[in-house]
Structure 1
Amino acid sequence: MIPVAADTHVYIICPAQFATGGPEALHQLGHHLRKKGIKAFMYYIWMNDRKKKRKITTQDPVHSRYRGYSVPYTDSIENHSRHYLITPETYLDPIFDKNVEKVGKIVWWLSVSNYYKILLPKIKKYHRNPLFWIRKLVNPKKLGTLEELKTAGVLHLAHSYYSKVHLEQHGLTIAGRISDYMNKVFFEKADDTFPKKNQVIYNPVKNDFFLQKIIQASPGINWVPISGLSPEQVVQIMNESKVYVDFGYHPGKERMPREACIMRCCLIIGKEGSASFQQDMPIPDAYRFEKKEESIPAIADQITACLANYEYHIPHFSHYRQVLLEEEVAFAQDVNTVFVQMKEQSIQKPVLS
């Protein structure tokens, strides 16, 4: 639980003019906080300019996809103990900024692997610096390691069940769990009457050589990569496909498998990251496989079965599709559970372990 007062401001750090799953989730959070009367603001970071630590004011920081969420933005953060700063796990510098030292800090773990993907190169670069040992003694730089986050008294929000498990394993203070939801515009484009083709779709960016081995073991199957397509083309190809295959690593609740499920595709997936948890992807285990050589014949057989008997297999994904249809309702409930509006005299910051 995170208590908020009538004069509490919640600042949400977000990349400027950047459209992907993470920024949309951040805007969704701001939108629903404002719906419940909490003063939430986006605080945009120009990612290609953050080393210079200056604001770019000549360009609108709000991406056109997110204007509909109607979350105002600010260029300054008031350094007051009643306020909170929410930042994704990939940008932790503000947590150690003296200019906002009084503000409560919250990390929203939209991804697990992206945290380490950002942190480890920073650690290597810092250690290679010729002045490393002097800085370590005189003015050590905070890099956002898990131990540093504990020392800084940071609260954490889980996004996926996978991230919740990760936070618990490392003894971090979890204030709650809030996922995201698929934009309702996407549901409106799902056409259940669209003729399905005997084709399998996949994201080549998220998959590696293992998928190529599956493709080689599936002669005669039409494999269609989802790459270099407009959003409209992605919608069309998902509407007309029977199967979506994904053996990539799932750092969080990935959007493309959810989109494919909404478009009534059977899902054949691996067990890496959040994909291994029923709580994150509630599909029958018959469609979930270990990413290993001996699994390839069974994977190929299941893909063939889904293509040949699509009408038999697709109802097995109805539960997951219904969960996706209700994600926004669940999101609003989670926001209400985590952010609790309190009377003035009863406001106290959460006790940190």
Structure 2
Amino acid sequence: MKVHVLCPASSVTGGPEALHQFVDAGQQLGFDIGMVYLPEDDPDPTPAVFRLYAPRIWRDLADAPGNAVVVPETGTAQLLSLRHATRVHWWLSVEHFQLRAEAMRQAQGGGASAASPLDFVFDPRFGVVHLTQSEYARQWVERQGAPALMLTDYIRDEIVERARRLRTGPKDPLVAYNPKKGLEFTQRLMAASPPDITWVPIENMSPAEVAALLGRARAYVDFGPHPGRDRIPREAVLCGCTVITNTQGSAANGVDVPLPPSLKFDERHPLTVPQVLQRLREALTQPQRFAEPMAAYCRWVEDQRRVFFDEVFTVLATLEAQAAQRARRSA
């Protein structure tokens, strides 16, 4: 069985890194798996930061009964062109899929209740195998009537090692936040915040600069949509921050974001702003109060590489069995 993993060429974001981790783990486990970059004519498709994964690169996609093709939500439509290989959809972000599905629906002039061209992924006739990067995505896919296998991701070793060095260093009364996510509510927090709390946005920074900030900050807040297991909260806890989130997306459950309820807040509640500020005050002045849950969260993040390799073996062994069955039927 050949497993083709489709990935946007030269893209440096969390999704493409997860795709590279998948190919790397599959190769190390002895499976015949490789990356197919799109567009295919990119002369140097592997970003420099991902070259450590050393992906096997295939220029052609072999649509054969014994093979499988894995796509993220950015490549859902490409599964339609397959006729023989097992179709596999890896849900890295439910929201991104929904946005694409809605855009295609509107482009075809469909109303709010009309079907999307991407709805075929849940049609049993297409035999799509579903993988989910988060428990949040798994539950969503299940509500659409399809079972799914978990295939998460992990924070790469160099980031974990750097964070270990940083988290024991001196801390400042800083609160870090991502201005690209949940900014409207974060601005409400900042407007009501006392002047002795310094808020620092994570923007226009290199990965090393982000790590340095998280290593100095005592807290990290994230009130964004949480479309999957987001990376910055995990990097923040590795660097020694107390992490505070909302209850949207994957943050709503304790599997994807294993924080105690006292560190998760519903922005819709009228008392949330003063409650979050009180928790921040405690995190800045009495960080030992949160030492135990942060240590547990940190251990969970550090164990994700091991868990991921176990998941990759389960996924590829399952695909291998299904592909063999499919090949026998077509013989």
- TM-score, length basis structure 1: 0.86
In the TM superposition, residue 342 of structure 1 has moved relative to its aligned partner by: 9.8
> Does the 8 A contact of 2:120 with 2:126 survive in 1?
no
- Tell whether the 8 Å contact from 1:187 to 1:262 is kept in structure 2 after alignment: yes
Paired position in structure 1 for 2:41: 56
In structure 1, list runs of 5 or more residues that go unmatched. Answer: 1-7, 47-54, 129-140
- Residue type of the partner of 1:189? R
Residue type matched to 1:234 in 2? V
After superposition, where does 1:106-185 map in structure 2 within 5 Å? 106-127=88-109, 143-145=117-119, 149-174=123-148, 176-185=149-158
Post-superposition Cα deviations, 1:113-167, rounded to whole Å, max 9, x if no partner, equal 1101111111111228xxxxxxxxxxxx983125664442211011100001001
Q: Does 1:328 align with 2:301?
A: no
**Higher mean C-alpha displacement, 210-219 vs 10-19:** 210-219
1:37 aligned partner, one-letter code: G
Shift of 1:92: 1.2
Instruction: Please show how residues 237-276 of structure 1 align to structure 2 within 5 Å.
Output: 237-276=213-252
Superposition map of 1:1-353 within 5 A: 8-46=1-39, 55-57=40-42, 59-97=43-81, 100-127=82-109, 143-145=117-119, 149-174=123-148, 176-190=149-163, 191-220=166-195, 221-292=197-268, 293-340=270-317, 347-349=324-326
For each residue in 1:189-241, what CA deviation from the matched residue of structure 2 results, as whole angstroms up to 9, or x when unmatched? 11233100001000000123111111112122110111111111111100000
Match of 1:51 in 2: none
Q: Which stretch has the larger CA shift, 144-153 or 227-236?
A: 144-153
- Aligned residue pairs, count: 318
Residue 74 of structure 1 deviates from its aligned partner by 1.1
263 and 92 in structure 1: CA distance in 2 versus 1, 3 angstrom threshold: same
SS of 1:250's equivalent?
Answer: coil
CA distance in 1, matches of 2:57, 2:203: 33
Amino acid at match of 2:184: F
Q: Which amino acid aligns with 1:215?
A: M
CA shift for structure 1 position 339: 2.1
Gaps of 5+ in 2: none
Is 2:122–2:144's contact at 8 Å kept on the other side of the alignment? Answer: no
Give a deviation string over 1:178-199, Cα, whole Å, max 9, x none. Answer: 1000001001111233100001
CA-CA distance at 1:282 after TM superposition:
0.8
Select the structure that is richer in helix: 2
Identify if the C-alpha distance between structure 1 residues 150 and 341 changes in structure 2 by more than 3 Å, giving closer, same or farther. Answer: closer
**Residues 39/32 of structure 1: CA separation in 2 closer, same or farther (3 Å cut):** same
Percent sequence identity is: 29
Q: Is the 8 A contact 1:14 1:87 kept in 2?
A: yes
Give the letter aligned to residue 86 of structure 1. V
Contact 1:206/1:246 (8 A) holds in 2: yes
Of 233-242 and 87-96, deviating more is 87-96
Q: How many angstroms apart in 1 are the aligned matches of 2:25 and 2:35?
A: 13
Q: Contact 1:28 / 1:69 at 8 angstroms: preserved in 2?
A: yes
The one-letter code of the counterpart of 2:144 is H
Change (3 A) 1:75 1:318: same
Which runs of 4 or more aligned residues in structure 1 lie more than 6 Å from their structure 2 counterparts after TM superposition? 341-344
CA spacing shift, 1:341–1:112, aligned 2, 3 Å: closer
Alignment partner of 1:122: what SS? helix
1:296-316 deviation per Cα after TM superposition (whole angstroms, max 9, x unaligned): 111110011110111332332
- Aligned pair in 2 of structure 1 residues 343, 103: CA closer, same or farther (>3 Å)? closer
SS in 2 for 1:204: coil
SS in 1 for 2:176: strand
